[in-house]
Amino acid sequence: MIINSPVGRFPYEIDAVSFSSGTIRVEGSMGTWPASLEIEPAELPRLAGRVLGARGAAALGCGAALALAFGVRAARR
C-alpha cells in the first residue's frame, strides 16, 4: 500500500487490525515510522459511499436496517 502526501510517497505496511467500540483501528508503519489509522462509526457511511457509490451504500444501509430489525424482533421472542 502507498501513502501519497505533499511530502512524498511512502509505503504503508499493515501489522494489525482491531475493532473496539465500533472503531476500526489499523496499526502499521509508514516507511520507518509507526502509524495508525482509526475509523470512527460515524465515518463508516461516508466511507461506504466512497467505496460502493451512492446506490451501493444505500443498499448496504437498507440491508443493515433490515438485519437490525429482524435481530430486535428475534430477541424479543
- Tens digit of each residue's pLDDT (9 = 90 or more) over 7-61: 989 899 999 999 888 889 999 998 888 999 998 988 887 877 787 776 766 666 6
**Which pLDDT value is given to residue 15?**
95
Beta bridge partners of 75: none
Contact assessment for residue 7 and residue 17, using Cβ atoms and an 8 Å cutoff: no
Domain boundaries, the chain: 1-39, 42-77
**Which pLDDT value is given to residue 41?**
85
Nearest one of 42, 47, 36 to 22, comparing CA atoms? 42
**Which pLDDT value is given to residue 67?**
72
Strand pairing of 23-30 and 33-39? Answer: antiparallel
| 36 phi and psi angles, rounded to 5 deg | -135, 160
Please give the single-letter amino acid code of residue 47: L
